[in-house]
Amino acid sequence: MHLHSFRVKNFRRLKDVHIELENDISIFVGANNSGKTSAAHAISLFMASSKEKFSIHDFTSDCWTSLNALGALKEEGDKEVEAAIPTFPSISLDLWFSVSEADLYKVIDLLPTLSWSGSHVGIRIEFGPTNTRALLDHYFEAKNKAVGNKQKDDKGEYHPWPRSLTEYLTDRLHQEFELRYYVLDKASFDEDFKELPDYKPQQLTPDKGRGGAQIIKSILRVDCLDAQRHLSDSSGSRAEDLSRCLSRFYSRNLKKREEDYSVQKALSDAKADLNEHLVKVFEPTLYHLSNLGYPGLKNPRLLIKSALNPATIMNSHDGATVHYALEGSPEEYTLPDRYNGLGFKNLIYMVVELLDIHAQWIAAEEDRPPLHLIFIEEPEAHLHTQLQQVFIRKVFDILRLEGDDMKGFVSQLVVTTHSPHIVYERGFQPIRYFRRGLETGVQTSEVLNLSKFYSIEKENRDFLQRYMKLTHCDLFFADAAILVEGNVERLLMPLMIDQVSEKLKSCCICILEVGGAFGYRFQSLIEFLGITTLIITDIDSVNPPLIPDEVGEDDLDEEDEVEEGTPGKSCPVSTNGAITCNQTLISWLPKKILIADLLQATEADRTQEPSDRSPARVMVAYQTPREVTWNGQTSQLTGRTFEEAFAFENLAWTQELAYNSLGLRIKKNNEKDIKELSTRIYKRVKGSNFDKTDFALAVLSEDPNTWNPPAYIVGGLEWLSKFVLVEEDITPIDEILIAPEHE
């Protein structure tokens, strides 16, 4: 038995998302503010069974619009208002459990009918209005009173509370809303666990046995290890050190040690020795104090006694502290915990906290729920790469259940992370990708299950997973992606982004070096994730086959003449009948092979728009003709590679002696016409003595204000800046219909 999945509706930016969980570890990834933490908080809030923990700000922003529309209804008669009331917004959580026949007795209260058969049982927890009619009556009463007390002076008009229904519920939400529990019947849901039209679940009420809160808590326990662990090297009031962490662990497990008589004897002996020592140390001081007297009392005799006992020895920060022993040093050479790095402290802290909450779950022998769900937020904080991988690799072993008495009990972990190293360690299957979206101006998120991608995309999945492992791919955390041809573009891309787009500078852009030969293999993953992507690649012209049929008779015009040369070998872009060897251009966008066709392709040809098949927006950019002037001559030149295009875009600059380190300067260049110079540059870049990495490093060493990015890259980055989605583009919830309504 395990928690199969859950669906959250109308909670923060999670308008309606269904999230499937793995049996052991699930990993939530996505860009900032994509809803990962909100998913964990939703379960925690509902499991707390306290309506006081909810606030009006937990509703999605479109719910605010609906609420204010309800509040704007004119009370011209109860019947008219009643008829105009649509469904009132509510927040809900559906929990679906995968059960076997052996587990049915644990979920007997959730069986929808006596004839139920299947493998999934569900419960819905809903936070909604107790009585919609009464809620509106209370609001209209408060609103009318406020309208009657409007005031206007030199400073403007003052409108007393409440100006809108959302403002009313900001203060009265807990009085007007309640938590309700429902049994769900899987037969009334589709394969994606979305309920069928007109389905009304059966409500759980206390008069029918145990209440919904008791039922769900008897099945599932939820704990969270938050990202804010307040570990620091300071001694401030918020600092959390390992000694305090271990103190909590000790106090919670103290009863299990009450009969450890050897420990009690050791403490008793230590207490007697310490008392004798304290008498000797404080005897002179106490003698002088005894001679002072105390008004109204006989002269008291002061004593200093130790207070050592098992209950306080670890609870007191000064009673016992954590020290680090230095490897290879004598035992007495130790350091307090504050002298170690935050990464090591964070790792130990998380392990101790996990052991603590795990021990609390196991300790509840009689009322222990069979399932224990633990959320761990951002375990990578302060941890270097290897420790991140070790933690995610070993964390489940820490919580492994052993013994016959633990059969039928299951722990599941959910890790929210921004670390590509954690993703690297676990692979595709446990990943749940949170994709940000925007629907009619409202922040939303969609959650994608990459285990489904893994089962569907069999052709390229192994390549993509190996690539991710080798490069620590951060594609899952980006606002947009740029797939580049090679190392040169990857090194120079940040500088070119700085020159072209201020907006892109503030985005999280994933730059992946994929090459023209393999870029197309990312198509399935990009389309599955739906991430906006710019592909920057080379046109890669090569000599065509000697036999036109190998290209396709329709691909060559009758007047085209095939230039002599080794078929398939690189050639200048201007070569008649040249084709591209770039598989991304052939197989993905714009799906053309002739260089002539590629040069004539429009932006629409090179762009993939969102569709029902995929929300991904993709554009490919490659070299295009540029008007270049040299020695008074002007010509249309097209580079075959980035280096050529860079040279043509900055021809005069690259031919200066001061920039000879770029490797693009041609000797006696003033003696050559523009056509000969372009041919020499082509041969220079193609030659074995030209080092592309040295070229990139030489460009990096120069002032970026002295050179221009190639035009095709500028065009691609400008396109990307128009379509990349960042949170600054979205209207904050505080600005949605907060103004007073029209009277």
Query: What is the C-alpha separation between 674 and 456, in angstroms, rounded?
Result: 52
DSSP label of 710: -
pLDDT score at 713: 98
Higher-scoring residue by pLDDT: 561, 319: 319
Nearest to 484 by CA among 584, 579, 569: 584
pLDDT score at 231: 57
pLDDT score at 366: 83
pLDDT score at 251: 66
Whether the per-residue pLDDT at 333 is higher than 90: the answer is: no
pLDDT score at 554: 44
pLDDT score at 709: 97
SS3 per-residue string spanning 251-316: HHCHHHHCCCHHHHHHHHHHHHHHHHHHHHHHHHHHHHHHCCCECCECCCCCCCCCCCCHHHHCCC
Query: What is the C-alpha separation between 446 and 432, in angstroms, rounded?
Result: 10
Place of tokens 């997973």: 465
pLDDT score at 731: 45
Three-class DSSP category at 224: strand
Query: What is the C-alpha separation between 226 and 620, in angstroms, rounded?
Result: 41
Whether the per-residue pLDDT at 299 is higher than 80: the answer is: no
Cα dist. 254→258, 259, 365, 401, 570 in Å?
7, 10, 17, 22, 76
Higher-scoring residue by pLDDT: 239, 723: 723
pLDDT score at 208: 56
Higher-scoring residue by pLDDT: 285, 89: 89
pLDDT score at 289: 47
β partners of residue 431: 27
Higher-scoring residue by pLDDT: 478, 235: 478
What value does the mean pLDDT take over residues 144-162? 82
| The residue type at 597 | D
What value does the mean pLDDT take over residues 331-356? 70
Peptide bond into 162 cis (omega under 30): yes
Nearest to 620 by CA among 483, 730, 722, 518: 483
Sheet containing 371-377, strands listed edge to edge, beginning at the edge strand earlier in sequence? 220-225, 371-377, 410-416, 25-30, 431-439, 442-449
pLDDT score at 743: 33
SS3 per-residue string spanning 367-403: CCCCEEEEEEECCCCCCCHHHHHHHHHHHHHHCCCCC
Query: What is the C-alpha separation between 385 and 629, in angstroms, rounded?
Result: 50
CB atoms inside a 10 Å sphere around CB 550: 11
Nearest to 185 by CA among 93, 229, 243, 120: 120
Query: What is the C-alpha separation between 233 and 340, in angstroms, rounded?
Result: 9
Residues 18-29 pLDDT 10s: 999 999 999 999
What value does the mean pLDDT take over residues 371-386? 90
What value does the mean pLDDT take over residues 671-681? 95
Residues 412-424 pLDDT 10s: 999 999 998 898 8
Higher-scoring residue by pLDDT: 340, 595: 595
- What whole-number percentage of the chain has pLDDT above 90? 56
Q: Residues with Cβ < 8 Å from 527, sequence gap 6 or more?
A: 613, 614, 616
| Helix 692-700 vs helix 642-649: crossing angle, to nearest 10 | 40
Residues 521-534 pLDDT 10s: 999 999 999 999 99
Whether the per-residue pLDDT at 304 is higher than 70: the answer is: no
Whether the per-residue pLDDT at 191 is higher than 80: the answer is: yes
Residues 47-103 pLDDT 10s: 999 999 999 999 998 999 889 988 887 654 455 555 555 678 999 999 999 999 999
N-terminal to C-terminal alpha carbon distance within the chain? 56
Query: What is the C-alpha separation between 619 and 532, in angstroms, rounded?
Result: 9
What value does the mean pLDDT take over residues 395-404? 82
Phi and psi at 732, nearest 5°, equal: -60, 150
Nearest to 88 by CA among 137, 32, 136, 44: 136
Cα dist. 734→56, 431, 700, 737 in Å?
11, 32, 44, 8
Whether the per-residue pLDDT at 364 is higher than 60: the answer is: yes
Query: What is the C-alpha separation between 451 and 495, in angstroms, rounded?
Result: 36
Helix, strand and coil in the chain, % to nearest 5: 45, 20, 40
Query: What is the C-alpha separation between 730 and 308, in angstroms, rounded?
Result: 59
Residues 535-589 pLDDT 10s: 999 999 999 986 544 444 344 443 344 445 789 899 999 999 999 999 999 999 9
CB atoms inside a 10 Å sphere around CB 242: 22
Residues 613-642 pLDDT 10s: 999 999 999 999 999 999 999 999 999 999
Residues 483-505 pLDDT 10s: 999 999 999 999 999 999 999 99
pLDDT score at 337: 56
pLDDT score at 723: 92
pLDDT score at 469: 75
> What is the residue extent of each domain of the chain?
2-21+31-210, 242-321, 480-724
Band (272; pLDDT cuts 50, 70, 90): confident
Query: What is the C-alpha separation between 444 and 434, in angstroms, rounded?
Result: 10
Put residue 156 in one of left, alpha, beta given phi > 0 → left and psi -120 to 50 → alpha: left
Query: What is the C-alpha separation between 23 and 26, in angstroms, rounded?
Result: 8
What value does the mean pLDDT take over residues 276-302? 54
pLDDT score at 149: 86
pLDDT score at 167: 94
The continuous run of DSSP H or E covering 414 comes out as strand 410-416
Average pLDDT, the chain: 84
Nearest to 638 by CA among 622, 652, 653, 654: 622
